[in-house]
A = this chain, B = another copy of it.
Amino acid sequence: MLHTHLKNIEEREVVPGYHGQFIHSDTMTVAHWNIEAHRDMPEHAHPHEQIFNLLEGTFELTVAGETVVAEPGTVVVIPPNVKHAGRSLSNCRVIDIFYPVRKEYQ
């Protein structure tokens, strides 16, 4: 069994203010994010399917030009290759999941 704890996983500031911890299985990546308030995630896209889960805070997420203000409990499915961007309106905790594995985060 692969089991670990976030306290043992290196944190990477992938984009300024976006502190991520990544766990990979054979097929999926789960990203645990601590995001500082008022920080931008620039528009980007990737071939991976993504499900965004907001745990804490308020986060403005724009997918294919449509914007939602996410509150805790908001879940958003982002299809492959669709452009998306975000901005934290407060400190946030997010869990993103990806299929397939995000190899650049391994």
B53:A95 contact, CB within 8 angstroms: yes
Q: How far is the CA of A61 from the CA of B68 in the complex (A)?
A: 36
Size class of the contact patch on chain A: 35 or more
A77 within 8 A of B: yes
Q: Known contacts being A3-B68, A66-B1, is A49 close to B28, with CB within 8 Å? A: yes
Q: How far is the CA of A21 from the CA of B65 in the complex (A)?
A: 28
Q: Hey, which chain B residues are within 8 Å of A51, CB to CB?
A: 23, 25, 28, 30, 97
Chain A 28-64 per-residue mask, 1 if CB under 8 angstroms from chain B, else 0? 1010100000000000000001010101000001011
A97:B28 contact, CB within 8 angstroms: yes
A71:B5 contact, CB within 8 angstroms: yes
Q: Known contacts being A63-B1, A68-B1, is A79 close to B28, with CB within 8 Å? A: no
List the interface of chain A (C-beta within 8 A of B): 1-7, 23, 25-28, 30, 32, 49, 51, 53, 55, 61, 63-64, 66, 68, 70-71, 73-79, 95, 97, 99
